Structure 1
């Protein structure tokens, strides 16, 4: 996916300092959630972590769940299940779109 086609919420352009200010999380907490594979920042050419607005939203959700006592491995499991559901939903949408396109293409060809 090229940078230009990436939705603004998913562009990895925000420094860890800004993320910390916006979320109220310490640098250490943010890095810990990365170590636990809950978030996946990119690194620029100097090795500096870069986050997206989507990452910030995810970090707030993680922090809220942690305050409720949910363990990081449970959060990771939930996130994996959500990704799986999302992928399945997208596959179903694509299948339906293909069926609709095929149906209407055949109907348009038959009416000529």
Structure 2
């Protein structure tokens, strides 16, 4: 599962390919970047590079736009989702630290 997440997050796809995959124009994709809905990386030559997660997000954005949702509303929703994910990740890390601390100290070597 971790490998799946890592390949989906790698920024390796060109804007032209993203356009073909999503059906969006390059201009629309750049607009969504301007609105901070996606964040491509730049290659050494300055070309935008997107991930599979970016492609999925762009499709989600396009669907919401067709439903009449404004980009600022989408951005707020994305921020809330990110905050929720960050909180869940932090809670898992804390729980893992607590488990490691207390499970380790509660173990007694058998005689």
Using the size of structure 2 for normalisation, the TM-score is 0.92
Instruction: Give the aligned partner of residue 65 of structure 2.
Output: 66
SS at match of 1:50: strand
Q: Deviations over 1:65-110 (max 9, x none)?
A: 00000000000000000000001001111111111111111112xx
Q: Deviations over 1:5-31 (max 9, x none)?
A: x81101111001100000000001000
* Distance of 1:91 and 1:20 partners within structure 2: 35
Instruction: Give the aligned partner of residue 106 of structure 2.
Output: 107
Any unmatched runs of 5+ in structure 1?
1-5
CA RMSD in angstroms comes to 1.0
CA offset at residue 61 of structure 1? 0.3
The runs of at least 4 consecutive aligned structure 1 residues that moved more than 4 Å come to: none
Matched ranges for 1:1-112 at <5 A: 7-108=6-107, 111-112=108-109
Any unmatched runs of 5+ in structure 2?
none
